[in-house]
Structures are given as C-alpha cells and as structure tokens.
C-alpha cells in the first residue's frame, strides 16, 4: 500500500474528524492512520464492482463500519458520504 495514498486518506479523516473534541482524548490516534489503512485494505479486499455509484456506496459502508467499530460511535450514512466520496477520488481517480 502506497504511503502517499494512506497519507491522503488520513488527511480526509483528519479534516472530517468524526471524533470531534474527543479526538484529543485518544492517545494512539496517530491522525487516524490505522483507520486509513483499514479502509484502504477493505476497499482493496471487498470492492468488486466497477460501477462508480456502487463503489461509492461500498466505500461509504466501509468508512462507517471501521470508524464506528474503532471508536464505538454512531454515524449515519449521510455523515460518511462526503469522506467516502473524497476517498473514492483518491483511490479511483488518481
């Protein structure tokens, strides 16, 4: 996995900052690096469709699942839509 892509996904997650003020309370957050790597892994592992609309929905589901599981927070699909679209652009529109 290319470090440049990981860094770009980390930037998306940092800009979004789903934890809000609670991010400062997580000692090993590392600018969402682990979550960025997990998201990219699952994109590579799970996405089989070539249709952009389906791929974006799958990325949205992956983002929601990873962030929800990692931090035990509730997110809506809508809250994950914009970060998922930005990650789609990073991964598929290089």
Q: Where are the domains of the chain?
A: 3-92
Residues 6+ positions from 56 with CB-CB distance below 8 Å: 84, 85, 88
The DSSP output letter for 19 is T
Longest dimension (CA), the chain: 39
CATH fold label, 3-92: Endonuclease III; domain 1 (1.10.340)
Residues 6+ positions from 66 with CB-CB distance below 8 Å: 35, 38, 39, 42
Give pLDDT tens digits for 73-94: 999 999 999 999 999 999 998 6
Give pLDDT tens digits for 18-48: 999 988 888 888 999 999 999 999 999 888 8
């Amino acid at each position: 996995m290319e470090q440049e892509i990981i860094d770009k996904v980390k930037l998306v997650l940092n800009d979004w900052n789903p934890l809000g003020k609670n991010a400062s309370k997580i000692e090993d957050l590392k600018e969402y690096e682990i979550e960025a790597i997990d998201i990219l892994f699952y994109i590579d592992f799970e996405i089989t469709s070539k249709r952009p609309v389906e791929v974006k929905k799958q990325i949205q589901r992956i983002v929601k699942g990873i962030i929800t599981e990692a931090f035990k927070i509730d997110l809506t699909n809508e809250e994950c839509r914009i970060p998922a679209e930005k990650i789609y652009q990073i991964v598929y529109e290089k």
